[in-house]
Structure 1
Amino acid sequence: MSLADKIFIDMCQDILDNGVSTEGEKVRPHWEDGTSAYTIKKFGVVNRYDLSKEFPAITLRKTAIKSCTDEMLWIWQLKSNNVNDLHSHVWDEWADETGSIGKAYGYQMGVKHKYKEGMFDQVDRVIYDLKNNPFSRRIMTNIYVHQDLSEMHLYPCAYSMTFNVTQKKGDDKLTLNAILNQRSQDILAANNWNVCQYAVLMHMLAQVCDMRVGELVHVIADAHIYDRHIPIIKELIQRPTYDAPTFWLNPDVKDFYEFTRNDVRLDNYVTGPQIQDIPIAI
């Protein structure tokens, strides 16, 4: 069993056994038929993934590595808020007639801010600090910008990354670690998708900054399983598990802005069958 499988199974079982229900409460999310979408939830879930040991793709079902990488690059590299720049259609329901999702996600990453060294957007500032001041405790991003919330079609779920660099004794290279903060997560639909895309981001940043990858710590304030997902989750966590896949990242790419979704691959990725047509609360 991969570590990612164990973390996922234990987290889901804990939510099912010890979570609290929102049934009967006033909730915002609803299903396509208009029915309220209730959840079983746990507060303050923290999962740790050591990327130096394995890539955290679960094997219970397949996580589409190129698609989740494409979404991450849409936000972090293209800094786009238009779904027409994506290869997948996961954001379509939040887009307007032009394809825009408002001042959300990639839009915020592209906003330039004034620093003593000059003007940087959040991505370029992270890369600058990792290369020039790696032991800074201020290397972070935040896309939950209150003044723009009214112009976002969806409030950011995964909203902040905090990077922290360490150096292991006897190692000539630095190690890149990070914390992903998420205010809310649909565990079935999004958990491993988010974990994998931010693990890819860390691998990419480590490569262009000549570092090793270390720990990804995922902090979820509201970790929930939707009512219509409960039987799916119960079946999923009973499935056989397999060894973690091997992650490949194109070693020739040294500039973050040159990566594409085709520069990543999972080798020896054996999984259970995919779950089709997962109902998504909106």
Structure 2
Amino acid sequence: MYGSSWADENGSIGKAYGYQLGVKHHYKEGDFDQVDRILYDLKHNPLSRRIMSNIYNHHDLHEMNLYPCAYSMTFNVSGHTLNGILNQRSQDMLTANSWNVCQYAVLLHMFAQVSGLKAGELVHVIADAHIYDRHIPMVEELLKREPYPGPTLAMDTSITDFYQFT
């Protein structure tokens, strides 16, 4: 988040987002960060109702320059299809919505591919979706424009290791 108003002089937003995903936790199966735990469960326990990540860690909030907006993902395998639910506490609809939807949809596809599953639905739950007053003229202009067709996603289908995605 270099250049962000939330970043410190080193370009860090503190113990938010990636930091939280990378913290190792101890489980009976071994030590995993949240990403590796999801990958483990998709392989070994695909029908579990506990396949999730959560980066809203109350213990570390005082060391975050920005509290996580999108804070949890829950994954559900139905047949051979991986579905995801993204929970978000706050969403700036003009500047962040397209990015968050794209980011987590791609993540769902990545997890599905390396787990031998088909990517299914991404359900996005937003507690507070808002448009700031200063953005209203821009939103009005965007609504007048002819929409573009939806994007397509092309991924290297030979990748079977999550960490080979670049």
- TM-score between the two structures when normalised by the length of structure 2: 0.95
Greater displacement, 174-183 / 111-120: 111-120
Q: Which runs of 5+ in 1 are unaligned?
A: 1-82, 84-88, 168-173, 261-282
Q: Which has the larger radius of gyration?
A: 1
- Tell me by how many angstroms 1:145 deviates: 0.4
Tell me, in whole angstroms, the C-alpha distance in 1 between the residues paired with 2:125 and 2:23. Answer: 25
Matching residue's letter, 1:237: L
Runs of 4+ that moved beyond 4 A: none
1:93-112 alignment, distance < 5 Å: 93-112=5-24
Q: Does 1:232 align with 2:138?
A: yes
SS at match of 1:93: coil
> Identity over the aligned pairs, expressed in percent?
70
Matching residue's letter, 1:252: S
Tell me, in whole angstroms, the C-alpha distance in 2 between the residues paired with 1:161 and 1:189. Answer: 21
Deviations along 1:165-221, whole A, 9 cap, x unmatched?
Answer: 101xxxxxx100000000001000000110001011011111111100111000000
The residue number in structure 2 matching 1:252 is 158
Q: Does 1:190 align with 2:96?
A: yes
Tell me, in whole angstroms, the C-alpha distance in 1 between the residues paired with 2:11 and 2:141. Answer: 36
Matching residue's letter, 2:57: V
Q: Which runs of 5+ in 2 are unaligned?
A: none
Tell me, in whole angstroms, the C-alpha distance in 1 between the residues paired with 2:149 and 2:11. Answer: 39
One of 152, 155, 167 as aligned partner of 2:64: 152
SS at match of 2:109: helix
Relative contact order higher in (CA < 8 Å, ≥ 6 apart): 1
- TM-score between the two structures when normalised by the length of structure 1: 0.57
Q: Does 1:122 align with 2:28?
A: no
SS at match of 2:96: helix
Tell me, in whole angstroms, the C-alpha distance in 2 between the residues paired with 1:245 and 1:194. Answer: 14
